[in-house]
Amino acid sequence: MNHFFNFIIKYNNEIQLLLFIGLIFFSWNVENALGIITNYKKWKHASKNVGFIFINLPGQFILGLLIIKTIHWTGVNHFGLLYYFKIHNSILLFVCSFIMLDFGEYIYHIIMHKVKRLWMMHAVHHSDEVVDVSTTLREHPLENIVRLTFTLFWVLLSGTAFWALILRQIIQVFTTVFAHINYRLSDKTAKIIGLIFITPNLHQVHHHYMQPYTNSNYGDVLSIWDRIFGTFQEMPAEKIVSGVDVYMQKKDIGNFKSILKIPFGKYRISGGKQDKITTMPNHDEPTLFEKKLSV
Ligand SMILES: [Zn+2]
Ligand SMILES: [Zn+2]
Protein backbone atom coordinates (compact mmCIF):
# COMPACT_ATOMS: atom_id res chain seq x y z
CA MET A 1 0.00 0.00 0.00
CA ASN A 2 2.85 2.37 0.85
CA HIS A 3 4.34 1.88 -2.63
CA PHE A 4 1.01 2.92 -4.10
CA PHE A 5 0.86 6.14 -2.01
CA ASN A 6 4.49 6.97 -2.79
CA PHE A 7 3.86 6.45 -6.48
CA ILE A 8 0.86 8.80 -6.37
CA ILE A 9 2.80 11.44 -4.45
CA LYS A 10 5.87 11.22 -6.70
CA TYR A 11 4.05 11.32 -10.03
CA ASN A 12 0.88 13.19 -9.08
CA ASN A 13 1.31 15.97 -11.69
CA GLU A 14 2.07 13.49 -14.49
CA ILE A 15 -0.82 11.20 -13.49
CA GLN A 16 -3.34 14.06 -13.41
CA LEU A 17 -2.12 15.58 -16.66
CA LEU A 18 -2.11 12.27 -18.56
CA LEU A 19 -5.48 11.33 -17.15
CA PHE A 20 -6.93 14.68 -18.09
CA ILE A 21 -5.59 14.56 -21.66
CA GLY A 22 -6.71 10.94 -22.06
CA LEU A 23 -10.20 11.67 -20.76
CA ILE A 24 -10.61 14.77 -22.94
CA PHE A 25 -9.50 12.77 -25.99
CA PHE A 26 -11.83 9.90 -25.15
CA SER A 27 -14.79 12.19 -24.41
CA TRP A 28 -14.18 14.24 -27.56
CA ASN A 29 -14.56 11.08 -29.63
CA VAL A 30 -17.60 9.86 -27.70
CA GLU A 31 -19.21 13.25 -28.39
CA ASN A 32 -18.36 13.03 -32.10
CA ALA A 33 -20.04 9.64 -32.32
CA LEU A 34 -22.89 9.96 -29.82
CA GLY A 35 -23.26 13.67 -28.97
CA ILE A 36 -26.83 14.84 -28.42
CA ILE A 37 -26.18 18.44 -29.56
CA THR A 38 -24.71 18.41 -33.04
CA ASN A 39 -25.61 21.73 -34.66
CA TYR A 40 -22.66 23.78 -33.42
CA LYS A 41 -19.06 24.41 -34.43
CA LYS A 42 -17.25 22.10 -32.05
CA TRP A 43 -13.68 23.21 -32.78
CA LYS A 44 -14.52 26.92 -32.67
CA HIS A 45 -16.44 26.40 -29.45
CA ALA A 46 -13.56 24.44 -27.89
CA SER A 47 -10.94 27.00 -28.97
CA LYS A 48 -12.59 29.65 -26.76
CA ASN A 49 -12.60 27.34 -23.74
CA VAL A 50 -9.05 26.04 -24.20
CA GLY A 51 -7.71 29.58 -23.57
CA PHE A 52 -8.70 29.18 -19.92
CA ILE A 53 -6.05 26.48 -19.41
CA PHE A 54 -3.24 28.93 -20.08
CA ILE A 55 -4.70 31.93 -18.28
CA ASN A 56 -5.29 29.84 -15.15
CA LEU A 57 -1.77 28.38 -14.97
CA PRO A 58 -0.11 31.05 -12.73
CA GLY A 59 -2.93 30.89 -10.14
CA GLN A 60 -2.89 27.08 -10.20
CA PHE A 61 0.86 27.04 -9.69
CA ILE A 62 0.97 29.52 -6.79
CA LEU A 63 -2.06 28.14 -4.93
CA GLY A 64 -0.94 24.57 -5.63
CA LEU A 65 2.31 25.36 -3.81
CA LEU A 66 0.43 26.98 -0.93
CA ILE A 67 -1.81 23.92 -0.60
CA ILE A 68 1.25 21.63 -0.46
CA LYS A 69 2.84 23.87 2.18
CA THR A 70 -0.40 23.85 4.18
CA ILE A 71 -0.57 20.04 4.13
CA HIS A 72 3.02 19.90 5.26
CA TRP A 73 2.21 22.28 8.11
CA THR A 74 -0.90 20.36 9.25
CA GLY A 75 1.16 17.14 9.11
CA VAL A 76 3.97 18.56 11.28
CA ASN A 77 1.59 20.20 13.76
CA HIS A 78 -1.07 17.47 13.70
CA PHE A 79 -3.66 20.11 12.95
CA GLY A 80 -7.16 19.46 11.58
CA LEU A 81 -10.23 17.32 12.22
CA LEU A 82 -8.65 14.04 11.07
CA TYR A 83 -5.82 14.48 13.57
CA TYR A 84 -8.27 15.59 16.26
CA PHE A 85 -10.32 12.40 15.86
CA LYS A 86 -7.11 10.34 15.56
CA ILE A 87 -8.04 8.81 12.20
CA HIS A 88 -4.90 6.99 11.08
CA ASN A 89 -6.22 3.99 9.18
CA SER A 90 -5.52 4.73 5.48
CA ILE A 91 -8.90 3.66 4.12
CA LEU A 92 -10.86 5.46 6.81
CA LEU A 93 -8.67 8.53 6.40
CA PHE A 94 -9.31 8.58 2.67
CA VAL A 95 -13.09 8.09 3.02
CA CYS A 96 -13.33 10.86 5.65
CA SER A 97 -11.11 13.22 3.61
CA PHE A 98 -13.10 12.51 0.49
CA ILE A 99 -16.46 13.19 2.14
CA MET A 100 -15.22 16.35 3.86
CA LEU A 101 -13.64 17.77 0.72
CA ASP A 102 -16.62 16.89 -1.45
CA PHE A 103 -18.99 18.53 1.03
CA GLY A 104 -16.64 21.55 0.96
CA GLU A 105 -17.00 21.72 -2.85
CA TYR A 106 -20.78 21.57 -2.50
CA ILE A 107 -20.79 24.52 -0.07
CA TYR A 108 -18.31 26.39 -2.27
CA HIS A 109 -20.56 25.95 -5.30
CA ILE A 110 -23.63 27.27 -3.46
CA ILE A 111 -21.68 30.33 -2.29
CA MET A 112 -20.58 30.98 -5.90
CA HIS A 113 -24.25 31.09 -6.88
CA LYS A 114 -25.57 33.12 -3.95
CA VAL A 115 -22.99 35.92 -3.58
CA LYS A 116 -23.48 38.29 -6.47
CA ARG A 117 -19.83 39.24 -7.09
CA LEU A 118 -18.82 35.59 -6.98
CA TRP A 119 -21.73 34.61 -9.18
CA MET A 120 -20.47 37.05 -11.83
CA MET A 121 -17.17 35.12 -11.88
CA HIS A 122 -18.91 31.76 -11.90
CA ALA A 123 -21.30 32.94 -14.65
CA VAL A 124 -18.34 32.60 -17.03
CA HIS A 125 -18.63 28.82 -16.66
CA HIS A 126 -22.42 28.96 -16.97
CA SER A 127 -22.37 31.28 -19.98
CA ASP A 128 -21.36 28.46 -22.31
CA GLU A 129 -24.17 28.00 -24.81
CA VAL A 130 -23.29 24.39 -25.50
CA VAL A 131 -22.04 22.25 -22.64
CA ASP A 132 -19.50 19.73 -23.81
CA VAL A 133 -16.18 18.36 -22.61
CA SER A 134 -14.40 21.69 -23.30
CA THR A 135 -16.75 23.46 -20.84
CA THR A 136 -14.78 21.65 -18.11
CA LEU A 137 -11.94 24.12 -18.81
CA ARG A 138 -14.11 27.22 -18.79
CA GLU A 139 -13.33 28.84 -15.44
CA HIS A 140 -12.47 32.52 -15.00
CA PRO A 141 -9.00 33.03 -13.42
CA LEU A 142 -10.61 34.90 -10.52
CA GLU A 143 -12.89 31.97 -9.81
CA ASN A 144 -9.92 29.65 -10.12
CA ILE A 145 -8.18 31.61 -7.34
CA VAL A 146 -11.32 31.66 -5.16
CA ARG A 147 -11.87 27.91 -5.66
CA LEU A 148 -8.30 26.95 -4.81
CA THR A 149 -8.37 29.26 -1.77
CA PHE A 150 -11.47 27.37 -0.60
CA THR A 151 -9.66 24.08 -1.19
CA LEU A 152 -6.75 25.41 0.86
CA PHE A 153 -9.15 26.28 3.69
CA TRP A 154 -10.72 22.80 3.63
CA VAL A 155 -7.31 21.14 3.54
CA LEU A 156 -6.34 23.13 6.63
CA LEU A 157 -9.58 22.33 8.43
CA SER A 158 -9.57 18.63 7.56
CA GLY A 159 -5.87 17.95 8.10
CA THR A 160 -5.96 15.53 5.19
CA ALA A 161 -2.86 13.75 3.85
CA PHE A 162 -1.28 14.76 0.56
CA TRP A 163 -1.86 11.36 -1.06
CA ALA A 164 -5.55 11.46 -0.05
CA LEU A 165 -5.97 14.88 -1.64
CA ILE A 166 -4.28 13.73 -4.86
CA LEU A 167 -6.36 10.56 -5.00
CA ARG A 168 -9.50 12.62 -4.56
CA GLN A 169 -8.38 15.03 -7.30
CA ILE A 170 -7.84 12.08 -9.66
CA ILE A 171 -11.42 10.93 -9.03
CA GLN A 172 -12.57 14.54 -9.42
CA VAL A 173 -10.92 14.81 -12.86
CA PHE A 174 -12.96 11.79 -13.97
CA THR A 175 -16.27 13.08 -12.67
CA THR A 176 -15.81 16.70 -13.84
CA VAL A 177 -15.07 15.65 -17.42
CA PHE A 178 -17.83 13.05 -17.26
CA ALA A 179 -20.35 15.62 -15.92
CA HIS A 180 -19.86 17.97 -18.89
CA ILE A 181 -19.77 15.47 -21.72
CA ASN A 182 -22.25 16.15 -24.55
CA TYR A 183 -23.84 12.76 -24.04
CA ARG A 184 -26.56 11.37 -21.79
CA LEU A 185 -26.71 8.07 -19.96
CA SER A 186 -29.88 6.05 -20.43
CA ASP A 187 -32.56 6.93 -17.87
CA LYS A 188 -32.08 3.70 -15.99
CA THR A 189 -28.27 3.93 -15.78
CA ALA A 190 -28.48 7.62 -14.87
CA LYS A 191 -30.93 6.84 -12.06
CA ILE A 192 -28.68 4.17 -10.56
CA ILE A 193 -25.36 6.07 -10.83
CA GLY A 194 -27.09 9.34 -9.92
CA LEU A 195 -28.16 7.91 -6.56
CA ILE A 196 -24.65 8.60 -5.33
CA PHE A 197 -22.67 10.34 -8.08
CA ILE A 198 -23.16 13.40 -10.28
CA THR A 199 -23.87 12.26 -13.85
CA PRO A 200 -23.92 14.30 -17.10
CA ASN A 201 -27.73 14.03 -16.88
CA LEU A 202 -27.66 15.79 -13.49
CA HIS A 203 -24.91 18.36 -14.01
CA GLN A 204 -26.35 19.58 -17.27
CA VAL A 205 -29.61 20.39 -15.51
CA HIS A 206 -27.46 22.77 -13.44
CA HIS A 207 -26.45 24.49 -16.70
CA HIS A 208 -30.09 25.15 -17.67
CA TYR A 209 -30.74 28.92 -17.76
CA MET A 210 -33.94 28.93 -15.69
CA GLN A 211 -34.62 28.58 -12.00
CA PRO A 212 -34.89 26.46 -9.96
CA TYR A 213 -32.60 24.44 -12.24
CA THR A 214 -29.56 26.78 -12.28
CA ASN A 215 -29.51 26.65 -8.49
CA SER A 216 -29.67 22.86 -8.26
CA ASN A 217 -27.36 19.85 -8.50
CA TYR A 218 -24.39 21.69 -6.99
CA GLY A 219 -22.58 18.44 -6.18
CA ASP A 220 -19.03 17.93 -7.39
CA VAL A 221 -18.44 14.17 -7.24
CA LEU A 222 -21.32 13.05 -5.01
CA SER A 223 -24.98 13.84 -5.60
CA ILE A 224 -25.95 12.93 -2.04
CA TRP A 225 -25.55 16.53 -0.75
CA ASP A 226 -28.17 17.76 -3.21
CA ARG A 227 -30.53 15.02 -2.10
CA ILE A 228 -29.92 15.71 1.61
CA PHE A 229 -30.23 19.51 1.38
CA GLY A 230 -33.08 19.66 -1.14
CA THR A 231 -31.20 21.07 -4.13
CA PHE A 232 -31.71 18.01 -6.31
CA GLN A 233 -33.46 18.46 -9.69
CA GLU A 234 -34.04 16.33 -12.75
CA MET A 235 -35.04 17.41 -16.25
CA PRO A 236 -35.23 15.67 -19.64
CA ALA A 237 -32.19 16.37 -21.84
CA GLU A 238 -34.25 17.77 -24.72
CA LYS A 239 -35.64 20.56 -22.52
CA ILE A 240 -32.26 21.85 -21.34
CA VAL A 241 -31.09 25.23 -22.70
CA SER A 242 -27.58 25.90 -21.44
CA GLY A 243 -26.66 29.39 -20.33
CA VAL A 244 -27.66 32.04 -17.79
CA ASP A 245 -30.75 34.19 -17.54
CA VAL A 246 -28.81 37.42 -17.72
CA TYR A 247 -28.88 40.51 -19.81
CA MET A 248 -26.28 39.07 -22.14
CA GLN A 249 -26.17 39.76 -25.79
CA LYS A 250 -24.14 37.77 -28.29
CA LYS A 251 -21.29 40.29 -28.13
CA ASP A 252 -20.90 39.63 -24.38
CA ILE A 253 -19.82 36.05 -24.91
CA GLY A 254 -18.75 36.26 -28.52
CA ASN A 255 -15.00 35.93 -28.00
CA PHE A 256 -12.48 35.02 -25.33
CA LYS A 257 -11.77 38.64 -24.36
CA SER A 258 -15.43 39.49 -23.86
CA ILE A 259 -15.98 36.33 -21.79
CA LEU A 260 -13.10 37.38 -19.52
CA LYS A 261 -14.87 40.69 -18.91
CA ILE A 262 -18.11 39.10 -17.67
CA PRO A 263 -17.25 39.51 -13.94
CA PHE A 264 -16.62 43.22 -14.49
CA GLY A 265 -19.59 43.87 -16.76
CA LYS A 266 -21.86 46.79 -15.96
CA TYR A 267 -24.93 44.77 -16.82
CA ARG A 268 -26.62 43.17 -13.88
CA ILE A 269 -26.34 39.45 -13.58
CA SER A 270 -29.32 38.08 -11.80
CA GLY A 271 -27.66 35.15 -10.11
CA GLY A 272 -30.56 33.25 -11.52
CA LYS A 273 -33.18 34.70 -9.18
CA GLN A 274 -35.91 34.98 -11.78
CA ASP A 275 -38.18 32.15 -12.66
CA LYS A 276 -38.53 33.36 -16.21
CA ILE A 277 -36.34 34.75 -18.95
CA THR A 278 -34.91 38.17 -18.19
CA THR A 279 -34.70 40.72 -20.95
CA MET A 280 -33.23 44.17 -20.80
CA PRO A 281 -35.69 46.98 -21.47
CA ASN A 282 -35.13 48.47 -24.90
CA HIS A 283 -32.42 45.98 -25.78
CA ASP A 284 -31.55 46.29 -29.43
CA GLU A 285 -31.33 42.61 -30.25
CA PRO A 286 -33.02 39.54 -28.80
CA THR A 287 -31.14 37.76 -26.05
CA LEU A 288 -29.52 34.44 -26.85
CA PHE A 289 -32.33 32.64 -25.11
CA GLU A 290 -35.07 34.40 -26.96
CA LYS A 291 -33.32 33.39 -30.17
CA LYS A 292 -32.92 29.81 -29.05
CA LEU A 293 -36.47 29.50 -27.86
CA SER A 294 -37.95 31.02 -30.98
CA VAL A 295 -36.30 28.38 -33.19
ZN1 LIG B 1 -22.69 26.51 -10.99
ZN1 LIG C 1 -20.48 22.82 -15.22
Measured in Å, residue 180 CA sits from the centre of ligand 2 at: 6
| CA distance to 174, 182, 231, 267, per residue, from 32 (Å) | 19, 9, 32, 36
**Distance from Cα 173 to the centre of ligand 2, integer Å:** 13
Quote the ligand 2 centre to 222 CA distance (angstroms). 14
Are 100 and 154 in contact, with CB atoms under 8 Å apart?
A: yes
* pLDDT tens figures, 33-63: 888 888 788 898 899 899 999 999 999 999 9
Amino acid 277: pLDDT: 38
Centre of ligand 2 to C-alpha 206, Å, is: 7
Q: What is the pTM of this model?
A: 0.86
Residue 1: per-residue pLDDT: 66
Q: How far is the CA of 203 from the centre of ligand 2 (A)?
A: 6
Q: How does pLDDT run across 238-257, given as a tens digit for each residue?
A: 888 888 766 455 666 778 88
Ligand 2 centre from 125 Cα, in Å?
6
How far lies 216's CA from each of 176, 184, 200, 269, 291, in Å? 16, 18, 14, 18, 25
The bound ligand whose nearest atom lies closest to the alpha carbon of 143 is 1
**Mutual orientation of helices 90-114 and 162-180 as an angle, nearest 10°?**
50
- Cα–Cα distance, 18 to 72 (Å, whole number): 26
Q: How far is CA 23 from CA 49, 138, 163, in A?
A: 16, 16, 21
Q: Where are the domains of the chain?
A: 2-185
